Amino acid sequence: MAVLLAYFSVVLIWATTPLAIQWSSDSLSFMAAAVTRMLIALALALSFFAIVRQSFAIFWQHRLIYFAASIGIFPNMPVVYWAAQFIPSGLVAVIFALLPFVTGLMTLLLLKKNPFSLKKILALLLALTGLIIIFFHQLHFDFRSVYGISGILLSCVLFSFSSVWVKKLTEQQAVTVDAFHQATGSLLFALPGLLLSWWVMDGAIPQAVSIKSAGSIVYLAIVGSLIGSALFFYILQRLSASAVSLITLMTPVLAIVIGKNLADEDLSSHTLFGVALVLVALLFYSSWSFAGVANWCSQKLLSGLQSRAIEVDKNAESAIQEARDDMIRYK
């Protein structure tokens, strides 16, 4: 039950992140919003290490791994925040769902492993077709949207490069880095670049911050950067890769629904058709099958029913025993 709760929590967190990023820039520049989020997350993480009295020397010991991981924050996060100004949050989630394709390409280039089969190549071509449809319509609808789409695609490249490089370094050094340590270390190494970018591009301390911006930043710092990462690595250790890959399919759909209902975002029929092609492509690219997913769900349901039946049997036995004890006392 805890794994399922963590699983759907990750889906919900990932689906709400794009809209929260947009809302965080309500009264702040995109750089100020990104830097504030990371500062809060880092302050909380370091406070935790101070409370449990853990040494900070480990962050220097594995500095190259943490530097590689920091690329997923800087320059990646400023790119995401900048791009999110130009396109709906649902579209941000859909484009970022192309991450498995880009990660496969980075795996081929950096790890010299070919993850592509004929099925995955066809899925990639289908996803590119969907993106072309989205690009074409957005180009005619609003040229600024092309900036947003291009920015999120660049973010996919940066995030994938960071993830695969971290994997390569950990394999070369034969070390296992704790997920929370990795998140904290990446924040530490990304902080100088974030602060320098904020100083060059903004440099002004905001005089007033709206409730929407403040609430979104706190949500992203605590839930998005800390809790979300911890839950993701938690389920990754306990579920198969095929089950975890379903997140990339559910997140964009939920993000579109959330954006439509909470922010009244408008998506044209052409854009929705392109989105549908991208999601179908992800479906074919994923290694799972409908039979596999059905089998996984049935196993989880059967396990829950068996646990419930065992609990009922124990309660029944306890009730019978109590009745016997009452009869003995009555006699």
| Closest C-alpha to 37, from 232, 216, 233, 196 | 216
Residues 6+ apart with CB under 8 A from 88: 256, 259, 263, 265, 266, 267
Whole-number Cα distances in Å, 155 to 65, 82, 260 = 19, 11, 23
Q: What is the mean pLDDT of residues 94-112?
A: 81
pLDDT (tens digit per residue) in 165-197: 888 888 787 777 777 788 888 889 999 999 999
Confidence grade of residue 139 (pLDDT, cut at 50, 70, 90): low
DSSP-derived secondary structure for 77-93: HHHHHHHTTTS-HHHHH
pLDDT value, residue 218? 94
d(CA 23, CA 33): 9
Mean pLDDT for the stretch of residues 243-250? 65
Query: Mean pLDDT for the chain?
Result: 79
The full length of the chain comes to 331
Distance CA 23, CA 37 (A): 12
Output the pLDDT for position 220. 93
Element (H, E) at 255: helix 247-262
DSSP annotation of 55:
-
Q: Which of 59, 69, 64 is nearest to 225 (CA)?
A: 69
Quickly count: other Cβ atoms within 10 Å of residue 74's Cβ: 24
Predicted confidence at residue 204, as pLDDT, reads: 80
pLDDT tens digit sequence for 256-269: 778 777 777 666 77
- Residue with the bigger pLDDT between 97 and 314: it is 97
Q: For the chain, what are the domain ranges?
A: 2-105+145-264, 289-331
User: Given this model, what pLDDT does residue 316 score?
Assistant: 55
User: What pLDDT is recorded for position 69?
Assistant: 87
Distances (CA, A) of 137 to 124, 153, 204: 20, 17, 37
Please write the tens of the pLDDT for every residue from 56-76: 777 788 889 889 989 988 999
**The predicted structure's pLDDT at residue 290:** 47
Distance CA 197, CA 179 (A): 27
Render 157-175 in DSSP notation, one character per residue: HHHHHHHHHHHHHHHHHT-
Contacts of 330 (CB under 8 A, 6+ apart): none
pLDDT attached to residue 111? 80
Give the pLDDT score at 237.
60
pLDDT digit string, tens, across residues 280-299? 877 776 655 444 555 555 66
Q: In this structure, what are the phi and psi dihedrals at residue 286, rounded to the nearest 5 degrees?
A: -65, 150
On whether the CB atoms of residues 168 and 308 are closer than 8 A, the answer is no
Burial group, residue 179, by CB count within 10 angstroms (0-12, 13-18, 19+): middle
Q: What is the pLDDT of residue 243?
A: 59
99 has pLDDT over 50:
yes
**What local confidence, expressed as pLDDT, does residue 53 receive?**
80
Q: Which residues contact 24 (CB under 8 A, 6 or more apart)?
A: 33, 36, 37, 81, 213, 216, 217, 220
Q: How far apart are CA 103 and CA 287, in angstroms?
A: 14
Structure-block tokens of residue 242: 């095929």
User: 309 or 235: which carries more pLDDT confidence?
Assistant: 235
Which of the listed ranges 12-21, 175-184, 303-312 does the model predict with the highest average pLDDT? 12-21
Rg (CA), the chain: 23
pLDDT: which is higher, 207 or 42: 42
Q: How far is Cα 15 from Cα 68, in angstroms, rounded to an integer?
A: 26
Residue 221: per-residue pLDDT: 92
* Half-sphere exposure at residue 145, Cβ-oriented, CA atoms within 13 angstroms: 20
Percent of the chain at pLDDT above 70? 78
